A = this chain, B = another copy of it.
């Protein structure tokens, strides 16, 4: 297989944009990536478009990518629409990588886009619940309302759907606390770090540097998660231009290469705290790249809630199981630390328009490796290797999708 380079990335600011369409958001992100790459849109040979919720939010259930690309004059190329819940954009990137690695195409667009906000909030709740098996969600809801001694009310069901992902994260967090003595303060330190990083990122949805105390004192969502430990609902888009190694140097003196691209899906995990799929896919990614966790200079991980990041330290092998709390206490994952994590602000601060998140993570790593991360720049621009960890949905008791990417200069 051929070596594949990322030659340009771009994204919109993430946020609440009721007035902006998917077409509008996607155009901005794609044009930014094309401009970063110095590539004209006519050079793109195929496009992979990740999105998870448009069918429910905008009504564009089918041909989502076609409608946004036609709008910006990109036509007559193969367009493939890809879905993998919160890992949709990384999955699009994975396919784009494969198409170039195999020799099928020389230059492709990977685009991730999402609108989660809608005036009718029940649509957003439905989209979030859909990251689980909806038959299971319905059954759980019916059991819960039965227990509470009342019939399911539409309103109650929606309210519950909103936090169902946070319930899942909270359960894993409580398991970690019980097993390793991890504290709520340690989770909160993750959030304070990420909100500080987000305050340096012009693309972040929230740019307020909350202190540890502010995180701990924000509204309780579900023990041990407070509001500032949870990723918000968001709208946005992110894109990348990938091409063959040979072609890359025609466009840039700073290509970033894909050292590993691995996708996995869950099922029954033997441990309720750790994701078997994350450990398996990251193991394969290290093997594909021929490196270990000690070689990673900078990381974006899937902190849909703060404990997700702390546990990911352990799943990805940055430290042994149970030592994530120590890593955050020692400040090792700060921008100035030994192994900076979520310099972008992560999902908690940068935001989490689910179908765009994976490519926003990849964009941050590309900027870091090219020395273009401005106030968030790690290691004086000398970082060589970066990694992304993007998770989506629930399958069995594990992630429905895990995408691990390792990029290198």
Contact = CB atoms under 8 A, between A and B. Distances in A.
Interface stretch (A60-68, A206-214, A314-322, A332-340): A60-68
Contact of A82 (B21, B80, B126): B80
A66 to B, nearest CB: 4
A63 B102 contact: no
Given A63-B401, A70-B395, A81 B79 contact: no
A371 B119 CA distance: 56
Nearest to A262: B78
Nearest to A267: B75
A53 B134 CA distance: 15
Interface of A is mostly: mixed
Given A58-B134, A98-B99, A392 B63 contact: yes
A263 B130 contact: no
Contacts of A67: 133-135, 395
B133 A267 contact: no
Contact of A102 (B98, B268, B276, B401): B98
A344 B370 CA distance: 55
A264 interface: yes
A55 B66 contact: no
Among A46, A61, A82, A91, residue most surrounded by chain B Cβ atoms (within 10 Å)? A61
Given A62-B53, A126-B59, A131-B62, A70 B1 contact: no
Interface string A194-218: 0000000000000000000000000
Specify how many copies of this chain sit in the oligomer: 2
B80 A63 contact: no
A111 interface: no
Interface residues of A, number: 62
Given A70-B267, A395-B66, A84 B85 contact: no
Nearest to A51: B83
Interface string A128-157: 001111110000000000000000000000
Given A55-B55, A104-B98, A130 B61 contact: yes
A400 B77 CA distance: 10
A80 B85 CA distance: 10
B82 A82 contact: yes
Interface in A79-115: 79-85, 91, 95, 98-99, 101-104
